[in-house]
């Protein structure tokens, strides 16, 4: 058993430096100790409140500060959310995630989200929400509504964080994660790579995630989607091998966590996605859209999984 406290930036950097084949072999070995190597969990993500966010996250097309063509829209009606959840379930998804472009939910917003959580839960799906920063008591309200997972990413290494976001601190994120844990909700927490960070900073992100106590149950690893109008629209593309290495390091350092291949998958060749599964990714976002950016169509995903002999978990 891997012991979470032993992972430091230095020890994670050492993993990144391993020969590619050795790293993937180690990751696959760890993966098989804890998971079925040929099963992948399918999640669907719906933006229930799009655009108009006051934050300045440099990667995000939903920020009101950037001109990206994403309009400020109201919260989706309950029936629209339910129709999307039913479609996700028909397509094989077992978890339905709802995202809202807020700094954090106001009380009236939280009550409406709780209503949607209860309704989706009644369909027999696991529920997940990503609503921004949570104040005291809000996580408990979401737990009472039946929320299974709360997503709140660390995004990047602490020392690179200020280059990407200035409107909330790294500590703010840790505070929300602590509130989620105290409420008894499972944590979905990962980050984004390809934002101009160094390999050492990617190692810092993984070390930060691996030393959360307890480790996140779900770890989404996102490859930056360069959106015109955001400050990162011209960021240099991360080499595919470095992304696969990041997946492998996440698997080795967080052996019991579900590692999700998340944003950026639409642009990934099938062979690179296959390497990510080999490196220990065992969850994908599945459907037509990932918040406001494209995601491979469900039929294409099913065809890929069939080629690889991978079945839905």
Q: Tell me what the mean pLDDT of segment 281-289 comes to.
A: 79
> Residue 87 pLDDT > 90, yes or no?
no
> Which one of 9, 26, 53, 116 is the catalytic residue?
53
Report the predicted TM-score, pTM, of the whole model to 2 decimal places.
Answer: 0.91
6-15 per-position pLDDT tens digit: 899 999 999 9
Mean pLDDT along residues 36-64: 88
Average pLDDT over residues 208-213: 95
pLDDT at 2 over 60: no
pLDDT at 226: 86
pLDDT at 67 exceeding the cut of 90: no
Q: Which of 9, 26, 95, 128 is catalytic?
A: 128
CA–CA separation, 238 and 155 (whole Å): 16
- Single out the catalytic residue among 60, 189, 249, 276: 60
* Active site (annotated) includes residue 265: no
CA–CA dist 299, 136 (Å, integer) = 42
Question: Lowest mean pLDDT: which of 36-45, 218-227, 260-269?
Answer: 260-269
The H or E element spanning position 164 is: helix 158-164
Q: Mean pLDDT over residues 226-238, rounded?
A: 90
Given the residues 9, 26, 95, 97, the one annotated as active site: 97
Higher pLDDT, 3 or 72: 72
Q: Catalytic site residue 97?
A: yes
Q: What mean pLDDT is predicted for residues 80-102?
A: 89
pLDDT band at 288 (very low <50, low <70, confident <90, very high): low
- 249 a catalytic residue: no
Burial (Cβ within 10 Å: 0-12, 13-18, ≥19) of residue 236: exposed
Mean pLDDT, residues 75-98 taken together: 90
From 179, 188, 249, 276, active-site residue: 188
Which secondary structure element, helix H or strand E, spans residue 207, and what is its range?
A: helix 199-210
Catalytic residue check, 189: no
pLDDT of residue 305: 92
pLDDT value, residue 285 = 83
Is 65 catalytic? The answer is no
Quick one: pLDDT at residue 302?
A: 85
Question: 217 pLDDT exceeds 90?
Answer: yes
Q: Which of 259, 266, 261, 258 is nearest to 292 (CA)?
A: 266
Q: Which entry of 9, 26, 57, 173 is annotated as an active-site residue?
A: 57
User: What pLDDT, on a 0 to 100 scale, did the predictor assign at position 287?
Assistant: 65
Lowest mean pLDDT among 59-68, 106-115, 147-156, 196-205: 59-68
């Amino acid at each position: 058993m891997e012991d979470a406290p032993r992972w430091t930036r230095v020890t994670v950097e050492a993993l990144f430096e391993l020969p590619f084949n050795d790293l993937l072999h180690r990751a696959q070995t760890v993966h098989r100790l804890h998971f079925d190597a040929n099963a992948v969990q399918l999640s669907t993500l719906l933006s229930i409140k799009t655009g108009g966010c006051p934050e300045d996250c440099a990667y995000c097309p939903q920020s009101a500060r950037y001109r990206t063509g994403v309009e400020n829209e109201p919260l989706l009606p309950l029936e629209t959310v339910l129709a999307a959840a039913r479609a996700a379930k028909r397509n094989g998804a077992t978890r339905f995630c709802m995202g809202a472009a807020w700094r954090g939910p106001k009380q009236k917003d939280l009550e409406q989200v709780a209503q949607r959580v209860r309704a989706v839960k009644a369909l027999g799906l696991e529920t997940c929400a990503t609503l921004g920063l949570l104040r005291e008591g809000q996580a408990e309200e979401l737990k009472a509504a039946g929320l299974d997972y709360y997503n709140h990413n660390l995004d990047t290494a602490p020392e690179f964080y200020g280059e990407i976001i200035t409107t909330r601190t790294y500590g703010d994120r840790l505070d929300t994660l602590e509130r989620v844990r105290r409420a008894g909700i499972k944590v979905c927490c990962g980050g984004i790579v390809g934002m101009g960070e160094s390999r050492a900073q990617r190692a810092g992100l993984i070390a930060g995630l691996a030393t959360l106590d307890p480790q996140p149950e779900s770890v989404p690893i996102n490859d930056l989607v360069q959106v015109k109008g955001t400050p990162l629209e011209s960021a240099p593309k991360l080499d595919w091998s470095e992304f696969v290495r990041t997946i492998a390091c996440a698997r080795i350092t967080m052996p019991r966590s579900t590692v999700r291949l998340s944003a950026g998958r639409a642009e990934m060749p099938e062979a690179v996605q296959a390497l990510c599964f080999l490196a220990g990714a065992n969850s994908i976002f599945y459907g037509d859209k990932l918040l406001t950016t494209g995601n491979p169509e469900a039929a294409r995903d099913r065809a890929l999984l069939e080629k690889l002999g991978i079945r839905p978990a």
